[in-house]
Structure 1
Amino acid sequence: MKADYPSVLLIYTGGTIGMIENPETGALENFNFAHLLKHVPELKRFNYHISSYQFDPPIDSSDMEPSLWAKIVAIINDNYENFDGFVILHGTDTMAYTASALSFMLENLAKPVILTGSQLPIGTLRTDGKENLITSIEIAAAKRPDGTALVPEVCIFFENELMRGNRTTKINAENFNAFRSFNYPALAKAGIHIRYNEHIIRRPDPARPMKPHYLFDTNVVVLTLFPGIQESIIDSVLHVPGLKAVVLKTFGSGNAPQKDWFIRQLKDATERGIVIVNITQCQSGGVEMGRYETGLHLLEAGVISGYDSTPECAVTKLMFLLGHGLSQAEIRRRMNSDLAGEITKE
């Protein structure tokens, strides 16, 4: 590829953006990538080299799983030297999980990996897919004056906002603003111009290469607390065969019942080697386990803070760390470390 001729690889995994409506049933069906190019003729106006890789068959995002994340990483790794950036077209339902996972799997990433999609198929008149796709490609190709990538991160671009991938959550099934980054500002906003917040964009270590990772262990569960939750439920969840980690969704800033049986169940699980990470059920904010007595009891039981991590990020980070066969102590240490801009530690 010529250095002055930006190159972007589009990876179509599936999702609404590439679907077409069956005129007889009205159902949405997966269509091929040529359909996408047909409905976005503007792509030909980019002075870029745009190549595509298509999952065959396309994957509904509800079926996305770690083996497919590994496939995406392999595609990026195999093509890493040939392209300036990557745009992944993905269904919205699990996009935040994939973005979070990729942020850990692509260690020391030096090129943009932008996930996007749409709420309406690309062929419909009012689709949001066209703008999302065009702007994502422009961001994936954007460079600083020194020739390095402007946004060398795994991001989600949706409805005019570029967000750090491991900070995002899907918040809307109906409107175009499907994603939100509650605890970290947008890396860029697209209006008449694309305005980048360069001071908050992560930079790789130029002395080190990008290192791909492929290993995951899915022996993780999300346990959401609610008033009146029974000990039998907690006990059965914490004794699931093979369980290695729990994302515990607590109240407010990290609070939970103070019942003796509850604390004892958590302490016993921790002593059996299960890693328990505390995150808040609130969409915005994080846990402060030293703030109230209930949080202190969790700390004493061996529960660790997830800070302001999203549920999607906490789950994928645990699966990623467990997959690499680390000790419980090392997993706990790394869960409390900011690996890819995913948590804010005060």
Structure 2
Amino acid sequence: MTDELNVNFRKNFRIALIMTGGTIAKTYDPQAARMCNADITIDTYIRAQRLPGTEIRYIDLMRKDSLEISASDRDLIIERVLAESRDNDAVIITHGTDTLAHTGEALYQCLPAPLIPVVLTGSMIPLVVQHTDGIQNITEAILACKLLPAGIYTVFHGTVLPFPGVMKDREQMTFVRTELA
């Protein structure tokens, strides 16, 4: 088992981080007096982590609340995951929590046998707010990419869930498995 795990810890493990917006990326707009998806801050938090041997490429694909993500936006996400899968060892997608499971299911339907781990993550509290869960989730997603076999997953609050069959549990404020028929 140790040899299998070490396979992904080689020098320069390449991760494409596709940013789509969502709560994890929300910042405060003082003119509008509200949180919005206007600025990019996630790279600042990741660069503050110690990640030797990990190369992260940031892709600012869209800046949307996940309730605004359309079918054509999901197609764009899928296209980008396919493109980034060619040159990277893993892909992380930061996504809003309200429709993250829909995007994960769409990825699973279009890429039933991905060649690398594809991990969706986000947060319930924006990165710029005290006590955010975003730093934990993105850090765990980076580590999960190095440990997981190829597949489509969500990583949230110390849990890895493979697609299909993932949903947001609004009561627990995290993601859980659904009962698959």
**1:233-272 CA-partner distances (Å, limit 9, x unpaired):** xxxxxxxxxxxxxxxxxxxxxxxxxxxxxxxxxxxxxxxx
Aligned identity (percent) is 24
Q: Does 1:36 align with 2:42?
A: yes
Q: Does the C-alpha gap of structure 1 residues 42 and 151 become closer, same or farther in structure 2, counting only changes over 3 Å?
A: farther
In the other structure, the counterpart of 1:170 is 168
Cα distance in 1 between the residues matched to 2:109 and 2:22: 23
**What TM-score comes out, normalization by structure 2 length?**
0.86
By how many angstroms is 1:72 displaced?
A: 1.3
Cα distance in 1 between the residues matched to 2:31 and 2:73: 32
Cα distance in 2 between the residues matched to 1:25 and 1:72: 29
By how many angstroms is 1:117 displaced?
A: 0.4
Cα distance in 2 between the residues matched to 1:23 and 1:65: 28
After TM superposition, list the pairs within 5 Å mapping 1:217-228 onto structure 2.
none
Which secondary structure does the structure 2 equivalent of 1:91 belong to? Answer: coil
- 2:85 and 2:115 in contact (8 A); partners too: no
Which secondary structure does the structure 1 equivalent of 2:79 belong to? Answer: helix
In the other structure, the counterpart of 1:60 is 65
Structure with a larger share of its residues in strand:
2
Which secondary structure does the structure 2 equivalent of 1:101 belong to? Answer: helix
In the other structure, the counterpart of 2:54 is 48
Q: 2:80 aligns with which of 75, 78, 83?
A: 75
By how many angstroms is 1:136 displaced?
A: 0.3
Higher relative contact order (CA 8 A, sep 6+): 2
Which secondary structure does the structure 2 equivalent of 1:68 belong to? Answer: helix
> 2:107 is matched by which residue type in structure 1?
L
In the other structure, the counterpart of 1:151 is 149
Q: Structure 1: any 5+ residue segments left out of the alignment?
A: 143-149, 184-307, 310-346
Q: 1:9 aligns with which of 6, 16, 41?
A: 16
In the other structure, the counterpart of 2:100 is 95
Q: Structure 2: any 5+ residue segments left out of the alignment?
A: 1-9
Cα distance in 1 between the residues matched to 2:115 and 2:130: 36
In the other structure, the counterpart of 1:106 is 111
Q: 2:177 aligns with which of 176, 181, 191?
A: 181
By how many angstroms is 1:66 displaced?
A: 2.1
- 1:39 and 1:123 in contact (8 A); partners too: no
- 2:113 and 2:151 in contact (8 A); partners too: no
* Structure 1 consecutive aligned stretches of length 4 or more whose deviation exceeds 3 Å: 23-26, 39-46
By how many angstroms is 1:23 displaced?
A: 4.1
Cα distance in 2 between the residues matched to 1:76 and 1:43: 24
By how many angstroms is 1:22 displaced?
A: 2.8
**1:210-248 CA-partner distances (Å, limit 9, x unpaired):** xxxxxxxxxxxxxxxxxxxxxxxxxxxxxxxxxxxxxxx
- 1:7 and 1:141 in contact (8 A); partners too: no
> 2:175 is matched by which residue type in structure 1?
F
> 1:76 is matched by which residue type in structure 2?
V
**What TM-score comes out, normalization by structure 1 length?**
0.47
Taking only aligned residues, the RMSD between alpha carbons, in angstroms, comes to 1.9
Give the number of the structure whose alpha-carbon radius of gyration is greater. Answer: 1
- 2:167 and 2:177 in contact (8 A); partners too: yes
After TM superposition, list the pairs within 5 Å mapping 1:254-273 onto structure 2.
none
Cα distance in 1 between the residues matched to 2:59 and 2:49: 16
Q: Does 1:18 align with 2:25?
A: yes
Which secondary structure does the structure 1 equivalent of 2:155 belong to? Answer: strand
**1:107-149 CA-partner distances (Å, limit 9, x unpaired):** 321211100000111111200000100110111133xxxxxxx
**1:44-97 CA-partner distances (Å, limit 9, x unpaired):** 5342110011124x1221122221221112112222221000000000001111
By how many angstroms is 1:168 displaced?
A: 0.9
